[in-house]
């Protein structure tokens, strides 16, 4: 029993010590795009909604004044990786693997 409690304490320590291990996937994606998680369903200015955080309990908001603009803000559209773009452009898509295209 003492060994079990020591192992559980070690596991708890590792989950707290290693960043990102205990974060949900949607939160990791939001942070990966330099976003912030807000409790409200709408984002305050100058932020724009870009998905969810904390198992869909919060809203992921990205700063519209930074260099991280969404694809639609830049006049493009997001496509999955198997579709070929004739012209790609910079812009964030809701799925990490997707590309921002001006022409397909």
Dump pLDDT digits (tens) for 8-55: 554 445 544 455 457 888 888 888 777 888 888 888 888 888 889 988
Of residues 60 and 67, more confidence is placed in 60
Name the pLDDT band for 7 (thresholds 50, 70, 90): very low
Residue with tokens 């898509």: 93
pLDDT at 74 over 70: yes
Check residue 75 and give left, alpha or beta (phi > 0: left; psi -120 to 50: alpha). left
Provide the CATH number for the domain formed by 23-68 in this structure: 3.10.360
- Residue 16 has φ and ψ, to the nearest 5°, of -85, -35
Cα Rg, the chain, nearest whole Å: 18
Rounded to two decimals, the pTM is: 0.48
């Amino acid at each position: 029993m003492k060994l079990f409690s020591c192992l559980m304490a070690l596991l708890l320590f590792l989950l707290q010590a290693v960043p990102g291990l205990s974060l949900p996937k949607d939160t990791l994606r939001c942070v990966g795009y330099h976003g912030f998680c807000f409790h409200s369903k709408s984002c305050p200015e100058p932020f724009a909604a870009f998905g969810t955080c904390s198992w869909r309990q919060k809203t992921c908001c990205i700063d519209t004044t930074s260099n991280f603009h969404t694809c639609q803000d830049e006049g493009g559209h997001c496509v999955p990786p198997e579709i070929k773009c004739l012209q790609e452009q910079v812009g964030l898509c809701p799925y990490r693997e997707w590309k921002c295209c001006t022409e397909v």
